[in-house]
Structure 1
Amino acid sequence: MTTASRAAAPAAARKRPWLLHPAVKPLVFIASLGPLAWLVWGVVANTLGANPAEALIRATGDWTLRFLCLTLAITPLRHWFNQPALVRLRRMLGLFTFFYGVLHFLCYAWLDMSLVPADIVADIIKRPFILVGTSALLLMAPLAATSFNRAIKALGGKRWQALHKAIYGVVLLGLLHFFWMRAGKNDFGEWAIYAAIVAVLLGDRLIRARRKAA
């Protein structure tokens, strides 16, 4: 190795984006399990309030929407801050979105419906906001199932990308689910924050798509 190449090696290492560090993914994974750990501790320590069942259902739903926003934020953030390496976290965050969505549904099915299938189906049909939430979860299922490299190769890049655009429908259904749930108490403050975040994230995509078409 020449003197010039020896000098270039440390310089290249310094320029390597911190998001490519091997520790980043494990740290994000552990952080993503934090809400679950907090809820489990709340159950064990009995710190979830007077209605633990409702607290679990609400919290898992909130975290589903938060992870959905985080997943959608990856593309705008990588453009805004010139950090293309952020994309390596999108799959993990998307899978955690589905994970918390499944937990949300299971908490509802178990704590509200006692895992009685007939009662669950009847309640989903009866209450529109639950129907919308369940539809969002079902729409997420094929996205989670095809989030792996083999699925991408099997579907082909264009078909895979077309399928995963369903995430836009998922987030809109999630917002509608949250809106109707809050409508019962006439409390839309938190919903407005999520709606504003989603509007910015989707608006950025629309602007970029129009610029690309032009």
Structure 2
Amino acid sequence: MAVNPTSRQLSGIKAALFALALVPFARLFYLTATGAFVEPVEAVTRGTGDWVLYFLCLTLAVTPLRRYTGWNWLVKLRRMLGLFAFFYAFLHFLMFFWGDHGFDVPAMGKDVIKRPFITVGFAAFVLLIPLALTSTNGMIKRLGGKRWQWLHRLMYVIAPLGILHFWWMKAGKHNFTEPIIFGVIVAVLLGLRVYWSRTKALAAARA
């Protein structure tokens, strides 16, 4: 049965989601400020990177949840989830740019080219930028619905790049458990879309 919250209830859900999405940031800030981390730059870089993947997965999960539950209002949360994925990706990049390179652009550029796991991570971050910039209603109207949808399908590229970045980062420590879990989740979420697309195409061919 479809559940449709009232406008007031939906506003409350959005406010709660916004507050919850900021909890990881507040926690990292607090632990850094109180000196709880032995290596704060590494800890914040790792923490923000994890939350990028969490929010990418949550963003991709909206459509399957909507289709299987009939809760169409979930679509109205997807933009916020995607923007928080970008927010944590920006913090992740900032820690890399500042913590590892002291805002030295040439040094950062060499590192991006030299190390494959940074290359794919940087590519994923760059691809997130146009999605964040076109997340407003005004940009949707300016681009047109179809072009906007095609642009935001970059998420199907960004998520695997994020997994690959995480996998290569963990390769040096021979710890693949988390990358595999994230990889399976993303594979299922993207696989469902491929299945729906093929089913739709077959139905159209038979019509």
TM band (smaller chain): over 0.9
SS at match of 2:156: helix
Higher relative contact order (CA 8 A, sep 6+): 2
What is the alpha-carbon root mean square deviation over aligned residues? 1.3
Aligned match of 1:152: 140
Provide closer, same or farther for how the CA distance between residues 19 and 86 of structure 1 changes in structure 2, counting only shifts above 3 A.
Answer: farther
Q: 1:142-201 CA distances to partner (integer Å, 9 max, x unpaired)?
A: 111111111111111111111111111100111110111011111100111001100111
> Alignment identity in percent?
49
Task: Give aligned pairs, total.
Answer: 199
One of 42, 51, 54 as aligned partner of 2:31: 42
The answer on whether the counterparts of 1:69 and 1:198 sit within 8 Å (CA) in structure 2 is: yes
One of 61, 64, 72 as aligned partner of 1:73: 61
Provide closer, same or farther for how the CA distance between residues 117 and 212 of structure 1 changes in structure 2, counting only shifts above 3 A.
Answer: same
Aligned match of 1:27: 16
- Kindly provide the amino acid, as one letter, of the partner of residue 15 in structure 2: P
Q: C-alpha displacement at 1:18, in angstroms? A: 3.3
Comparing 18-27 with 67-76, greater Cα deviation is found at 18-27
Q: C-alpha displacement at 1:87, in angstroms? A: 0.3
Gapped regions of structure 1 (runs ≥ 5)? 1-14
Aligned match of 2:106: 118
The answer on whether the counterparts of 1:68 and 1:94 sit within 8 Å (CA) in structure 2 is: yes
Alignment of 1:1-214 (within 5 A): 17-18=4-5, 20=7, 21=9, 22-48=11-37, 50-214=38-202
SS at match of 2:36: coil
**How far apart, CA to CA, are the structure 2 residues paired with 1:84 and 1:17?**
8
- Kindly provide the amino acid, as one letter, of the partner of residue 190 in structure 1: E
- Kindly provide the amino acid, as one letter, of the partner of residue 135 in structure 2: S
The answer on whether the counterparts of 1:19 and 1:86 sit within 8 Å (CA) in structure 2 is: no
Gapped regions of structure 2 (runs ≥ 5)? 203-207
Q: Which has the larger radius of gyration?
A: 1
TM-score where L is the length of structure 2: 0.92
Q: C-alpha displacement at 1:19, in angstroms? A: 7.4
**How far apart, CA to CA, are the structure 2 residues paired with 1:61 and 1:157?**
31
Q: C-alpha displacement at 1:212, in angstroms? A: 1.4
**How far apart, CA to CA, are the structure 1 residues paired with 2:3 and 2:65?**
18
**How far apart, CA to CA, are the structure 1 residues paired with 2:201 and 2:124?**
30
**How far apart, CA to CA, are the structure 2 residues paired with 1:19 and 1:61?**
35
The answer on whether the counterparts of 2:121 and 2:162 sit within 8 Å (CA) in structure 1 is: yes
SS at match of 1:102: helix
Q: C-alpha displacement at 1:16, in angstroms? A: 6.3
- Kindly provide the amino acid, as one letter, of the partner of residue 90 in structure 2: V
